[in-house]
Amino acid sequence: MTESQGGEPPAGLELTIAEWGMWEAFRTGSTHDLRTPHPERNDPGGPHPWGPERSVRAQVVALLLLAGPPARPGRVAALKLNGARITGTLDLSGGTVVPYVELHNCRFDHQVLLPESHFTTLRLVGCVLPRLEAARLRTEGDLHLPRCTVQTGIRLTDAQIGTDLLLNQLVVRRDRRGVSVAADGMTVGQDLQAEMMRSYGELSMRGAQIGASLSLRGSTLSNPYGRRALNAPQLTVERTLYLTGAWISGTAFASGATPPYGVINTPEQGTRVQHFECRGGARLDDGRFGDAVDLSQARFTMEADQELSLRRVQTPELRFLGEWLSRGRVVLSGARVVNLVDRADSWPGPGGLVMAGFFYENLIPLGHFPLATRLEWVAAATPEYAPEPYERLAGVLRDSGEDADARAVQLAKQRRRRETLPLAGKAWGYLQDWTVAYGYRPGRAALWMAVLWAAAAVYFTWHPVPPLKEGEGPQWNPELYALDLLVPVIDLGQGTSWRPTGAAQWVVSALILLGWILATTVAAGASRVLRRQ
Question: Measuring CA to CA, which residue among 17, 26, 9, 105 is closest to residue 65?
Answer: 26
What amino acid is encoded at 66 in this protein? L
Q: Which pLDDT score, from 0 to 100, does residue 384 have? A: 83
β-pairing, 263-264 with 246-249? antiparallel
Mean pLDDT of 287-306: 93
Mean model confidence pLDDT for the chain: 86
- Name the band, by pLDDT with cuts 50, 70 and 90, for residue 442: low
pLDDT for res 265? 46
Would you say residue 533 has pLDDT above 80?
no
Question: Does the pLDDT value for residue 495 go beyond 70?
Answer: no
Q: What is the pLDDT of residues 203-237, one digit of tens each?
A: 999 999 999 999 999 999 999 888 899 999 999 99
Arithmetic mean of pLDDT, 282-298 = 96
First to last CA, the chain: 78
**Strands, E, within 148-213: which ranges?**
149-150, 154-155, 160-161, 165-166, 171-173, 179-182, 187-188, 192-193, 198-200, 202-204, 209-210
Using one digit for the tens of pLDDT, what is the confidence trace for 403-414? 888 888 887 788
Are 89 and 58 spatial neighbours (Cβ–Cβ below 8 Å)?
yes
Least confident span in 106-110, 117-121, 321-325, 367-371? 321-325
Instruction: Let me know how many helices (H) and strands (E) the chain has, helices first.
Output: 10, 46
Higher-confidence position of 446 and 15 = 15
**pLDDT given for residue 349 in this prediction:** 84
How confident is the model over 179-202, as pLDDT tens digits?
999 999 999 999 999 999 999 999
Q: Which of 44-53, 265-274, 339-348 has the lowest mean pLDDT?
A: 265-274
- 143-152, 260-269, 282-291: segment of lowest average pLDDT: 260-269
**Does the pLDDT at position 99 exceed 90?**
yes
Sort 424 into a burial class: Cβ within 10 Å, 0-12 / 13-18 / 19+: exposed
Predicted confidence at residue 444, as pLDDT, reads 63
Strand 31-33 with 353-354, pairing: unpaired
pLDDT at 491: 63
- The stretch 367-380 carries a mean pLDDT of 90
Is 196 in contact with 219 (CB distance < 8 Å)?
Answer: yes
Burial of residue 16 (number of CB atoms within 10 Å: 0-12, 13-18, 19+):
middle
Q: Which pLDDT belongs to residue 255?
A: 35
DSSP secondary structure of 332-353: -TT-EEEEEEE-GGGS--TTSE
- List CB contacts of 358: < 8 A, sequence separation 6 or more: 332, 333, 334, 335, 337, 389, 392
What is the identity of the amino acid at 280?
A: G
pLDDT in tens, 148-167: 999 999 999 999 999 999 99
Buried b (16+ CB within 10 A) or exposed e, 33-47: ebeeeeeeebebeee
Q: How far is CA 268 from CA 135, 245, 272, in A?
A: 41, 15, 9
Which of residues 343 and 434 earns the better pLDDT score? 343
Query: Which stretch, 260-264, 456-460, 515-519, has highest mean pLDDT?
Result: 456-460
Query: What does the alpha-carbon distance between residue 349 and residue 326 come to, in Å, rounded to a whole number?
Result: 8
pLDDT tens for each residue of 388-439: 888 899 899 988 888 888 888 887 788 777 777 788 777 766 666 666 666 6
Residue 56 has a pLDDT of 96
Q: Which of 272-281, 318-327, 451-460 has the lowest mean pLDDT?
A: 451-460
Looking at residues 488-507, what average pLDDT do you find?
Answer: 70
- As a whole number, mean pLDDT of residues 471-482 equals 72
The ranges assigned to domains in the chain are: 131-251+261-331, 342-420, 441-531
pLDDT-derived band at 2, boundaries 50, 70, 90 = very low
